[in-house]
Amino acid sequence: LHARPAALLVQAAKRFASDISIVVRDQAASAKSILGVLALGVDRGSRITIRAEGEDAEDALASLTRLIETNFGELGVRALRGLPSSRGIAIGPVYRCCRAGLLCEPRVVIDRAAEWARFEAALEGARDQLAAVHAGVSDDFGAGHAAIFNAQAMMLEDPELVQGVRSAIEGRGLNAECALLDTTEAYAEKLGSLDDEYLRGRAADVRDVAARVVRVLLGVDDSPFVGLTEPSVIIAPDLTPSDIALLDKSLVLGFCTAEGGPTSHAAILARALGLPAVVGAGSDVLGLRSGMLVVLDGGEGALVVDPDESTLDEYRARQGTIGGALAEARAHAHEPVVTREGRRVEVLANIGSVAEARVALEAGAAGVGLLRTEFLYLGRTRMPDEDEQYHAYRAILDALGDRPVVLRTLDLGSDKGAPFLSLPRESNPFLGVRGIRLGLSRPELLRTQLRAALRASVGHDVRLLFPLVATLGELRAARTLLEECRAELVAEGCAVADVGPIGVMIEVPAAALIIDKLALEADFFSIGTNDLSQYVMAADRTNAGVASLVSGFQPAVLRLVRDIIRVAHDHGRRVGLCGELAGEPLAIPILLGLGLDEFSMTPLAIPLAKQILRALSLSQAEAIAQTALDMDSPEAVQAVVRSQMPGVDMGGV
């Protein structure tokens, strides 16, 4: 057990809550301690015993035994590891992506004016391509996901950038390709060195858009998938959002990238498509040749190279189980969820566009628990006016018919910017003017939206929801604004809906602590665990360094969720949850046990969530919740749920 296999063993052991030890001769060491395992001095041919004690002991033993039997990936089965990004198993040949080379040698051009004209024409071509990609992504994934291509198009119009290229061409006589790459690389490097992880990620967008223009200049194919003719597992250094948007879904079984993180746009799009994906697997994966057989396990973050028959059989069986369970879940997706005791639980969708509304209906959503309205604003250079907003809401509401829709008012600020707002720089944007604070400090913004929403709601079941409320004063001010808007519209003779139930998002610990007071003035609550977790744990949700703290499975977060539901119920108010946690298979039993009334999640998660809910009795869920909330860590919480749900498909988690 030298360093590499010992590290793999320890890494695998740490995924379990049980106490696990390795015993050799008369010595024992914790399997979670790398120094302990190394100090055992286990050499080839040694007989070792693995001992596990705890709720997930069986699983731990099976997993560690499998690791040893497969020789830690050194012989026979070779498994490369990356970050799990999108669940599912893909089995097929590798397609090693290689872009048409963007070999750009610096050249001195004689006719500088002609070179500048050539550049301008390429810009125009790239803009047209981006508009087409934007339209395609809007249709397939929704406007929220497409916003990035608007932002890329804006980069091409950036006067500083264009001026930089112009002076390189006209001043220095440099060819257009190199003039552009030199100029954009300076921006990309600047962005890449920022502290903010999200902004660092935008360096990839600058390079993506520059490469697009260069491809137009060189007249080479835009797609990295030229030559992809049979269904394959894509291996690439990294994939850009436009790559994913362009891929032919019938030919891509899944993908694995050397670089990138699970919050990259490529990973987000993969989840939206239900495509298995592993990212950040390191440069080893780039050594794989097209045509080699691989197994990609998106849930585990593993890529098994050249699997032997028994490994293949194992994965095919798992793939079949997951596929069968999903098909089974989909077959029942449109049936309501009633627990064994006869209590009805609502499963709703989080959406941001008409396209997502359609996906939600197909997935069996009873309605929409969170309509994110930011898509109308993100990346825009001017504020969408009342009529534009009215039509956008109306299209979504019409697609949903008479189903209930919770429409959240604009939640901009922090990581969600809109250029037309010219927001001042804040040193702590997540603690700054965002959500309802921004709406109340710029009442014309909120007013326009409320008027559009009230007009669009006629004939539909719409409930307004205010984000990031921390005080009673904010709720009161928002309600006053709403009533004023309605009175204005009535006075103007517009058709206008009644002000339906008013909801408050519980994302700030302050709101959770005054929920008894809020309950007197709000009609329902929706817990936003994405933000609530970061504020409870004092850990920025965009900072990879504290990612493990920002988890809805943290016992502290779950305890607060428990208290919110308890107090709200004491005051006769229903509680939903629309953070990512609501769609996490391992969180669902806990949330049901805590008494949650409504689960709202990304549409593709709905069928499995319903299946899990149906498999539970309330008393069983209550027992799971009680044990889980007494655990010491998110891993232990998850282990409790796993061990209490034997025989229930949990989507491979």
Q: Compare residues 210 and 550 and give the one whose CB is closer to ligand PEP.
A: 550
Amino acid making up residue 554 = Q
Which one of ligand PEP, Mg ion, none is in contact with 30 (Cβ closer than 5 to 8 A by kind)? none
Of the ranges 453-461, 522-530, 568-576, 615-623, which one interacts with Mg ion (CB under 5 A)?
522-530
State whether residue 526 is helix, strand or coil: strand
Residue 479's CB: how many other CB atoms inside 10 A?
Answer: 16
Residue in the block written with tokens 């890449």: 192
Of the ranges 260-268, 338-346, 442-450, 528-536, which one interacts with ligand PEP (CB under 6 A)?
528-536
What is the rounded CA–CA span in Å between residue 257 and residue 370? 32
Q: Compare residues 233 and 410 and give the one whose CB is closer to ligand PEP.
A: 410
Residue 107's CB: how many other CB atoms inside 10 A?
Answer: 13
CB of 9 to Mg ion, least distance (A): 39
CB of 612 to ligand PEP, least distance (A): 20
Residue 297 binds ligand PEP (CB under 6 A): no
List the catalytic residue out of 97, 256, 485, 578.
578
Of the ranges 156-164, 476-484, 523-531, 632-640, which one interacts with ligand PEP (CB under 6 A)?
523-531
Q: Compare residues 552 and 589 and give the one whose CB is closer to ligand PEP.
A: 552
Closest-by-Cβ residue to ligand PEP is 528
Rule CB under 5 A: choose which of 531, 540, 597, 598 binds Mg ion. 531
Cα separations in angstroms, 193 against 124, 196, 302, 419, 516: 30, 9, 30, 22, 45
Sequence-separated (6 or more) residues with CB below 8 Å from residue 121: none
What is the rounded CA–CA span in Å between residue 121 and residue 107? 19
CB of 29 to ligand PEP, least distance (A): 41
Q: CA 518, 351, 634, 82: dihedral to nearest 10 degrees?
A: -160
CB of 602 to ligand PEP, least distance (A): 11
Beta-strand (E) ranges in 542-621? 574-577, 598-601
CB of 645 to Mg ion, least distance (A): 29
What is the rounded CA–CA span in Å between residue 647 and residue 142? 35
Rule CB under 6 A: choose which of 177, 531, 540, 649 binds ligand PEP. 531
Q: Compare residues 33 and 530 and give the one whose CB is closer to ligand PEP.
A: 530
CB of 446 to ligand PEP, least distance (A): 17
List the catalytic residue out of 134, 145, 265, 460.
265
What is the rounded CA–CA span in Å between residue 486 and residue 490? 6
Number of residues that bind ligand PEP (CB under 6 A): 10
Say if residues 538 and 546 touch (Cβ distance below 8 Å). no
Q: Compare residues 148 and 370 and give the one whose CB is closer to ligand PEP.
A: 370
Judged on CB neighbours under 10 Å (0-12, 13-18, 19+), 424 is: exposed
Say if residues 86 and 276 touch (Cβ distance below 8 Å). yes
Binding mask 215-254 for Mg ion (x = CB under 5 A): ----------------------------------------
Of the ranges 53-61, 202-210, 341-349, 527-535, which one interacts with ligand PEP (CB under 6 A)?
527-535
Which one of ligand PEP, Mg ion, none is in contact with 247 (Cβ closer than 5 to 8 A by kind)? none
Of the ranges 75-83, 169-177, 441-449, 525-533, which one interacts with ligand PEP (CB under 6 A)?
525-533
Residue 319 binds ligand PEP (CB under 6 A): no
Q: Angle formed by the axes of helices 159-166 and 143-157, to 10°?
A: 40
Residue 298 binds ligand PEP (CB under 6 A): no
Residue 628 binds ligand PEP (CB under 6 A): no
CB of 589 to ligand PEP, least distance (A): 20
Q: Compare residues 205 and 531 and give the one whose CB is closer to Mg ion.
A: 531
Cα separations in angstroms, 417 against 181, 380, 412: 27, 9, 6
> Which phi and psi (to 5°) does residue 305 adopt?
-100, 135
Q: Compare residues 234 and 465 and give the one whose CB is closer to ligand PEP.
A: 465
User: What residues from 353 to 372 belong to the interface with ligand PEP (CB under 6 A)?
Assistant: 370, 372
Q: Compare residues 507 and 597 and give the one whose CB is closer to ligand PEP.
A: 507
Listed in sequence order, the DSSP H helices in 332-385 are 354-362
Residue 593 binds ligand PEP (CB under 6 A): no
Per-position DSSP letters for 630-651, written without gaps between them: T-SSHHHHHHHHHHHSTTS--T
State whether residue 245 is helix, strand or coil: helix
Which one of Mg ion, ligand PEP, none is in contact with 285 (Cβ closer than 5 to 8 A by kind)? none
- For residue 259, the 8-state DSSP code is S
Judged on CB neighbours under 10 Å (0-12, 13-18, 19+), 316 is: middle
Sequence-separated (6 or more) residues with CB below 8 Å from residue 186: 164
Does 569 qualify as catalytic in the annotation? no
Rule CB under 6 A: choose which of 578, 601, 605, 631 binds ligand PEP. 578
Residue 528 binds Mg ion (CB under 5 A): yes
Residue 142 binds ligand PEP (CB under 6 A): no
Residue 540 binds ligand PEP (CB under 6 A): no
Which one of ligand PEP, Mg ion, none is in contact with 529 (Cβ closer than 5 to 8 A by kind)? ligand PEP
Residue 598 binds ligand PEP (CB under 6 A): no
What is the rounded CA–CA span in Å between residue 118 and residue 443? 46
Residue 530 binds ligand PEP (CB under 6 A): yes
Query: Which secondary-structure segment (H or E) carries 463?
Result: strand 462-466
Say if residues 583 and 609 touch (Cβ distance below 8 Å). yes
Rule CB under 6 A: choose which of 70, 529, 611, 627 binds ligand PEP. 529
- For residue 426, the 8-state DSSP code is -
Sequence-separated (6 or more) residues with CB below 8 Å from residue 66: none
> Which phi and psi (to 5°) does residue 482 adopt?
-60, -45
Residue 233's CB: how many other CB atoms inside 10 A?
Answer: 26
CB of 529 to ligand PEP, least distance (A): 5
User: What residues from 394 to 413 belong to the interface with ligand PEP (CB under 6 A)?
Assistant: 411
Does 334 qualify as catalytic in the annotation? no
| Half-sphere CA count of 393, side-chain side, radius 13 A | 34
What is the rounded CA–CA span in Å between residue 45 and residue 261? 39
Q: Compare residues 253 and 506 and give the one whose CB is closer to ligand PEP.
A: 506
User: What residues from 370 to 389 belong to the interface with ligand PEP (CB under 6 A)?
Assistant: 370, 372
Residue 631 binds ligand PEP (CB under 6 A): no
User: What residues from 374 to 433 belong to the interface with Mg ion (CB under 5 A)?
Assistant: none
What is the rounded CA–CA span in Å between residue 331 and residue 6? 44
What is the rounded CA–CA span in Å between residue 338 and residue 611? 11
CB of 411 to ligand PEP, least distance (A): 6
Per-position DSSP letters for 585-601, written without gaps between them: TTTHHHHHHTT--EEEE
Say if residues 170 and 223 touch (Cβ distance below 8 Å). no
Which one of Mg ion, ligand PEP, none is in contact with 326 (Cβ closer than 5 to 8 A by kind)? none
Residue 583 binds ligand PEP (CB under 6 A): no
Residue 649 binds Mg ion (CB under 5 A): no
Residues known to be catalytic: 265, 578
What are the residues binding Mg ion (CB under 5 A)? 507, 528, 531
What are the residues binding ligand PEP (CB under 6 A)? 370, 372, 411, 507, 528-531, 578-579
